[in-house]
Structure 1
């Protein structure tokens, strides 16, 4: 026998017989015979899409007077020792099976149902609504199973991400990534057989919850593998899925969907605990922690790196962008791409030619425009500039608020003689700053109390490590 919060499965010979429990959780209601019939019928129909040789039939149960009293899903019994969760827990190599499953899932998604009703379930408002519904279902357990601070941080981080990523989510809808998927891809329900994996037990009780971004569908299994202690396998599986589907996936979106799936299972674990399964409380806490970890990891960030010429800010900014997996935008590069830049003298001095006030303002404006679009698409951004003007810094803060991004401001600093020596040693650098420019800028550099200072006088590795620690602390 096996049991979940919604069903009981009996194993007899080479068959498995599944009966729905007469339960009402609000988000599903199986209390009537007719509702269980519909659910069982849909289970057979929908699961035959991925496992047609497993879901065999639907059988009616009659009472002593010949009246229908229940319905049973009849399935081919799967070998328990080939269950993906069991294999992972035993430490067996399942990479080949997961690659096959990723390929099978991509193929399934490529022909899955699409259309206006499916697409509408993938819009930002629908994803927000699914989060809110899960928060509503989990809130009664706040205080008894997990703490209020954890719950509230999950709420604001999840909704902040959705509200700031309308362009990304809407674009994925338009590109056809939202499909009638599996909806509940857990390692317990995947069997690794010699002729290929079988994924069972898709979500059948609410079509709208099954209408998801294909990446969201795959993220469920990535989350479950992490829950089993195989986080790297989960990341690999998601990577294979993204590569095979040809989908460009921002890291933040993958983290967001893993967090969503972890919280869905957290809510289910809370319900299991309410049904009397004591160990489910620890599971719920673990899943809530996973959700929060991924929401923090997927936080879209705006890192402002500034300072005088020669202090090493571009070295720090580039290294941070690499470590974050973010995009680096540098004013020194952007100003050369501006209209009429070729007609202006880059060596005219501070505040003149290519560096006159209007040109500088337009350069920052172009950088902000590019940054806005990148953040809307879920990318974290590092902005490398002098940031000598307080108005430009305030514009960056406003941009972070608008894009629901976390901003960190860093001011790189090194002694004058170190900076001057670096400027003198530059060869073929995109920056035109000279020692004279640095001296003049230093006299006009507005106070920057909001920034955290990074000592860049020594080795680059040391400065980058210090800056990285600051970012890690600001989560």
Structure 2
């Protein structure tokens, strides 16, 4: 940093001549906010995972940052600017003299639009998460594939970096860090076959690499990924689920578990990654360890003792989360049935974060499955012909198939459908018994007036049900229902509490222990 003192003073004078300058500092960068521009200066630092110690290294990193981030934020990233020393000794911007340092020039945006700020205000919504999941899924689909990176070796390399970095920060005693490292390596052996399968099948891609809330903003109304990892191709060419896991972990750490679960489910609706579900808690644990040592390193630069103590406390929270995510939890299968308007999907979204491994259960919604079968967005309306009995049978068959895939991977599952036909309820129960998976069915009921009122009030919903359809459903004989009956006219939080109590789950304890289950083959009963 000492060799950049002159550069920092120069930039403050240069930008301050036109408008007030706000300066932000991270462990690797200094950002100057001036007018409608943001200028990012790489700090002259070296960590076990990053080296910006020379001007040429920082220049190369800035060029890569511009190119890579234009994949997801072309409007934000404008240019690369150089700071040079002229013959008279002066520093100038974009001069012809020898290179001193480099800046990335960006459009400035309101800092309150950063997703970490929005999370603090509780202004992130399921709709925003759905939009974000869609954009991440497309980004991953279009990202360049690598068969040389990732797999067991790629994960092992990250584990080594984490272990060295933890020891360097002295966040925890060496023996505590060694115990966690041993847990990671044991889990690596468990997951080695799946990691290699995914590498060979093209799941390793040139991803974002640093996909956390503070690197996402709401730019012109759209969730926008920026500030991707540019300094190490090995750390950024990774499993797409490892990329997503950083964001899931960040939401989990910030007590936004429902949003984390929503993000995962909407991502899985668009990306065929169900077979990798068992890796996600492990990936989240690795990411939590990354944040633990990076945050601990930031504490060294805190000026005030109370600030340093606060930063170290957060670093320890990440460390504890990593350890908790390595604890096993068995999968389970829940079915939530009931006529349209009973609130099945709402209840499923409230219960899902508490079931099984982090970030909670895979929710399989029959309306979304039907729309997927017809190749239309979830909010699009389908014609009446899309609800013929043979198509409905196919929807339920797909639901069972996807449930089996998720359960085999080690994830809990919630089946969210009307289930008004006895044979569909029976088939799911029989499959759960065959998979040797604990099963509970819940049947939501409410007066017809409540159901029709709710359905009439829906907007932008995957369900095509109308008040007339609800009346037709209510007139149909559903057969004997031996699932747990719940009053759907109650408040959703009350129904959630009833389900969790019936499952024997303490909500506060469940979200604090979390949870890797090594996937085991399910044998027929």
Q: TM-score range by the shorter chain?
A: 0.5 to 0.7
Task: Tell me how large the CA RMSD over aligned residues is.
Answer: 3.3
The aligned counterpart of 1:10 is 32
The aligned counterpart of 2:169 is 141
SS in 2 for 1:71: strand
2:147 to 119, 124, 136: 119
Separation in structure 1 between the aligned mates of residue 329 and residue 67 of structure 2, nearest angstrom? 36
State the shift of 1:275 in Å: 2.8
Q: Superposed, which structure 2 residues align to 1:277-356 within 5 Å? A: 278=308, 279-297=310-328
1:173-225 CA distance string (max 9 Å, x none): 12221110000011112112344111111000001100111111111111111
* Length-normalised TM-score, structure 1: 0.61
SS in 2 for 1:246: coil
State the shift of 1:299 in Å: 8.8
1:379/1:225 CA distance change after superposition, 3 Å? closer
1:245/1:251 CA distance change after superposition, 3 Å? closer
Listed as ranges, the gaps of 5+ residues in structure 2 are 1-22, 88-96, 332-353, 358-404, 413-500, 517-525
The aligned counterpart of 1:346 is none
Separation in structure 2 between the aligned mates of residue 230 and residue 380 of structure 1, nearest angstrom? 19
State the shift of 1:148 in Å: 4.8
State the shift of 1:227 in Å: 2.1
2:254 to 207, 224, 228: 228
Separation in structure 2 between the aligned mates of residue 218 and residue 210 of structure 1, nearest angstrom? 12
Q: Please tell me whether the aligned partners of residues 330 and 356 of structure 2 are also in contact (alpha carbons under 8 angstroms).
A: no
The aligned counterpart of 2:54 is 32
Separation in structure 2 between the aligned mates of residue 298 and residue 24 of structure 1, nearest angstrom? 39
The aligned counterpart of 2:415 is none
1:323/1:67 CA distance change after superposition, 3 Å? closer
Q: Superposed, which structure 2 residues align to 1:432-451 within 5 Å? A: none
Separation in structure 2 between the aligned mates of residue 192 and residue 94 of structure 1, nearest angstrom? 12
The aligned counterpart of 2:199 is 173
Separation in structure 2 between the aligned mates of residue 22 and residue 380 of structure 1, nearest angstrom? 43
The aligned counterpart of 1:272 is 298
1:90/1:297 CA distance change after superposition, 3 Å? farther
1:323/1:290 CA distance change after superposition, 3 Å? closer
The aligned counterpart of 2:218 is 192
Q: Superposed, which structure 2 residues align to 1:70-149 within 5 Å? A: 70-114=101-145, 118-142=146-170, 145-148=171-174
The aligned counterpart of 1:54 is 76
1:17-57 CA distance string (max 9 Å, x none): 00011111132211111111000000001000110111100
The aligned counterpart of 1:392 is none
1:153/1:251 CA distance change after superposition, 3 Å? farther
Q: Specify the structure having the higher radius of gyration (Cα).
A: 1
State the shift of 1:124 in Å: 1.0
SS in 1 for 2:79: strand
Separation in structure 2 between the aligned mates of residue 180 and residue 127 of structure 1, nearest angstrom? 15
The aligned counterpart of 1:252 is 278
1:380/1:153 CA distance change after superposition, 3 Å? farther
Q: Please tell me whether the aligned partners of residues 81 and 104 of structure 2 are also in contact (alpha carbons under 8 angstroms).
A: yes
Listed as ranges, the gaps of 5+ residues in structure 1 are 301-321, 326-373, 382-461
The aligned counterpart of 1:63 is 85
Separation in structure 2 between the aligned mates of residue 155 and residue 45 of structure 1, nearest angstrom? 35
1:387-443 CA distance string (max 9 Å, x none): xxxxxxxxxxxxxxxxxxxxxxxxxxxxxxxxxxxxxxxxxxxxxxxxxxxxxxxxx
* Length-normalised TM-score, structure 2: 0.56
Separation in structure 2 between the aligned mates of residue 239 and residue 153 of structure 1, nearest angstrom? 33
